[in-house]
Structure 1
């Protein structure tokens, strides 16, 4: 199976390096994308928006001779859902890693503070507030490595509204790998109409897998995430 791995905010394709070998050993053809504006700290991020990230995923889909599995982590899941909407007949499954299928008109995170048209990785205290599980299982060394590799994201990616047009997206099976939410919390969010989960009731085939750890399981539960992805596809 062809797998396209899409990183979340502040990360490039190398963030999947711990996961990729196990998937390739299982016989999968794996591409880990680096999205526009995330090529390096010094990359030009001006004018890049969510649609550019969706376009990059669609281009990777179009390069494949077979249907693909899209895997989107965090904010990358929104771009994955945009690509599913554009190519529903070419996506065999969409996997959202501590993420969800962002609906039409919603933005990923309009509240993140920008610095000159880009959004740097915030201080860790931001992720520790209000009992957040975002940093569960991280070691100090892993946090240092994460910050060293972090790349600012283009402001438009966080703030642009999602654009969806094809209801055939609801026919594409999805798997939601939840690391910081329980199944009960997801059910509660669905009932409350929370953006990241409001499309779930419309999707015909939804699998939810709990993998309790940080918001970044590719760093804190690398082997377990690889196993879940391998078994999912």
Structure 2
């Protein structure tokens, strides 16, 4: 059995994985989901949040686990799991990008994504807050009304600094960690064409395709779990 460590995307928290965790646990896997600094229930002031603080939180969590983990990152956290793999490659069994950013060395999210989410900027707190119509139309466009309302209830303003911070990656470390990508073909937040441009830059072991929006842990729960279970049984 494996240990899955889930890292959420922007505006979210560990809660976003709640609906798929039980299915993995029922198969005997250990499942850990964390709140990044300034997200979920973490009380770090947004002005103190950076990509480095995200990475440090994940590294600290992994170092407490006895075995290498399957590290899963959604959306923004493709940047986070990439840097974590660079820092501690021997502690990662596999990287799993769920419609996530795949950076090249020296890139930030702001270098990859054009425009970004439709959001309002709070200069004092250095955060952005999603606009209501964008959530339903461009993010959870294939998810249920129940999941949409849950998402709206739980999201928080997103610290902006992690979008500007660059990763530092090498082929010798990050490049040797086995990776898979789960693309989402009905994604309006990170369109599938952009996903494919990004994952073409790295030799992924396998590409999984889901006819899902940007939140497959809502819109395609079973299919996402099936992908993760398949990843877990595939030899490194």
**TM-score tier (shorter):** 0.7 to 0.9
Cα pair distance change 1:217/1:107, threshold 3 Å: same
Instruction: Name 2:155's counterpart in structure 1.
Output: 150
- State how many pairs are aligned: 219
Calculate the TM-score normalised by the size of structure 1: 0.84
Give the Å deviation of 1:140: 3.0
Aligned residue for 1:193?
A: none
Residue 197 (structure 1) aligned with residue 199 (structure 2): yes
The separation in 1 between residues aligned to 2:179 and 2:33, in whole angstroms, is 19
2:133 aligned partner? 124
Identify the residue that residue 81 of structure 2 maps to in structure 1: 80
Q: CA deviation at 1:45?
A: 1.2
User: Conserved in 1, the CA contact under 8 Å of 2:100 and 2:195?
Assistant: no
Distance 2:223 2:195 in 1: 26
Q: What is the Cα-based RMSD across aligned positions, in Å?
A: 2.5
CA distance in 2 between partners of 1:92 and 1:16 (Å): 20
- In structure 1, C-alpha distance between the alignment counterparts of 2:136 and 2:143, rounded to whole Å: 12
TM-score by length of 2: 0.83
Q: 1:30 matched to which residue of 2?
A: 31
CA distance in 1, matches of 2:208, 2:147: 24
Q: CA deviation at 1:199?
A: 3.4
For residues 155-188 of structure 1, give each alpha carbon's deviation from its aligned partner in whole angstroms, at most 9, with x where no partner exists: 1112212222463221111110011379xx6599
Q: Select 1:172's aligned residue among 171, 174, 177.
A: 177
Structure 1 stretches of 5 or more lacking a match? 191-195
User: What is the correspondence of 1:56-135 to structure 2 with a 5 Å cutoff?
Assistant: 56-109=57-110, 111-112=115-116, 114-116=121-123, 117-125=126-134, 128=137, 134-135=139-140
Q: Verify: 1:140 aligned to 2:145, yes or no.
A: yes
* 2:208 counterpart of 1:209: yes
- 2:223 matches 1:224: yes
**Higher relative contact order (Cα pairs below 8 Å, separated by 6+ residues):** 1
| Preserved CA contact (<8 Å) 2:101 2:195 | no
In the alignment, structure 2 segments of 5+ residues that lack a partner are: none
Are the counterparts in 2 of residues 121 and 147 from structure 1 also a CA contact under 8 Å?
Answer: no
Q: CA separation in 1, counterparts of 2:194 and 2:144? A: 31
Aligned in 2, Cα 1:43/1:53: closer, same or farther, shift over 3 Å?
A: closer
